[in-house]
């Protein structure tokens, strides 16, 4: 969305901002219309999708910190995937406000650390704001779970999702088995438009 916005004319931008004001959405950030207890698919990307987490060590460290901070806020983590330039996490929470505060803390800390490590202090924005999708029902939940696990294949990082180590897929393989995963994929395969506009 941010990248499309940059290509718009000044008049088109004004119309979009007027509509967002009307709806009560933030002017330049993803709207978070649902804030209640529930299950959410959270997605966040490095700014302009630059692969700031290209290093396997950085992904490993980030994955651990993401899961730890979700545990601190007592979120129930169902699935996750960490890629070189973005991540998804499927979770259940009492309030989206807790997630927002936790991610602000995590993104702020990693931005500072990574910019220092990469010699980019004051020169590089690391994160764009997170987007959330409230899970509507069980079918939507399993589509989101499959979508997260298949994401490294979708983005061309591997041809086999089982080979991507920064994911909860191996947990499901161990606890549910490959047959359960196959059946779940067949029954709840995300459509081609799942992720359109927010994970392109």
Q: Using one digit for the tens of pLDDT, what is the confidence trace for 15-35? A: 766 776 665 555 555 544 456
Kindly state the tokens that stand for 125. 């924005």
Every domain of the chain with CATH number 3.30.70.1290 lies at 32-187
Does the pLDDT at position 2 exceed 50? no
Q: Distance (Å, rounded) from C-alpha 111 to C-alpha 52?
A: 10
Strand 131-134, strand 38-45: pairing:
antiparallel
Task: Burial-class residue 49 by CB neighbours within 10 Å (0-12, 13-18, 19+).
Answer: middle
Q: Which helix H or strand E contains 72, and what residues bound it?
A: helix 56-72
CATH among 3.90.180.10, 3.40.50.720, 3.40.50.2000, 3.30.70.1290 for 32-187: 3.30.70.1290
pLDDT band at 178 (very low <50, low <70, confident <90, very high): very high
For the chain, the average pLDDT equals: 89
The predicted model gives 130-158 an average pLDDT of 96
What is the DSSP-derived secondary structure letter of residue 48? G
Does the pLDDT at position 9 exceed 90? no
- Give the lowest-confidence range in 2-11, 36-45, 117-126, 171-180: 2-11
Q: Distance (Å, rounded) from C-alpha 171 to C-alpha 176?
A: 8
Give the number of other CB atoms < 10 A from CB of residue 186: 9
Q: What is the pLDDT of residue 4?
A: 62
Q: Distance (Å, rounded) from C-alpha 41 to C-alpha 86?
A: 13
Q: What is the layout of strands, in order, in the sheet containing 86-93? A: 76-82, 86-93, 38-45, 131-134
Q: What are the φ and ψ backbone dihedral angles of 132, each rounded to 5 degrees?
A: -130, 150
CA 177 to each of CA 7, 90, 128, 159, 163: distance values in angstroms, whole numbers, following the listed order: 46, 20, 36, 20, 16
Does the pLDDT at position 47 exceed 90? yes
41: β partners: 90, 133
């Amino acid at each position: 969305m941010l990248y499309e916005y940059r290509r718009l004319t000044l008049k088109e931008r004004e119309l979009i901002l007027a509509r967002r004001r009307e709806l009560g959405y933030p002017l330049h950030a993803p709207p978070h219309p649902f804030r209640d207890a529930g299950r959410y698919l959270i997605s966040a990307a490095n700014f302009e999708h630059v692969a700031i987490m290209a290093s396997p060590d950085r992904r490993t460290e980030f994955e651990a910190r993401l899961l730890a901070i979700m545990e601190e806020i007592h979120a129930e983590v169902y699935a996750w995937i960490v890629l070189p330039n973005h991540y998804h996490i499927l979770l259940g929470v009492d309030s989206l406000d807790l997630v927002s505060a936790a991610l602000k803390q995590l993104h702020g800390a990693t931005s500072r650390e990574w910019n220092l490590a990469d010699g980019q202090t004051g020169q590089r924005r690391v994160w764009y704001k997170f987007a959330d999708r409230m899970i509507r029902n069980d079918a939507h939940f399993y589509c989101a779970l499959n979508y997260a696990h298949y994401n490294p294949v979708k983005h061309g990082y591997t041809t086999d999702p089982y080979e991507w180590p920064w994911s909860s897929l191996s947990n499901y393989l161990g606890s549910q088995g490959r047959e359960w995963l196959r059946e779940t994929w067949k029954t709840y395969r995300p459509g081609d438009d799942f992720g359109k506009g927010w994970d392109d």
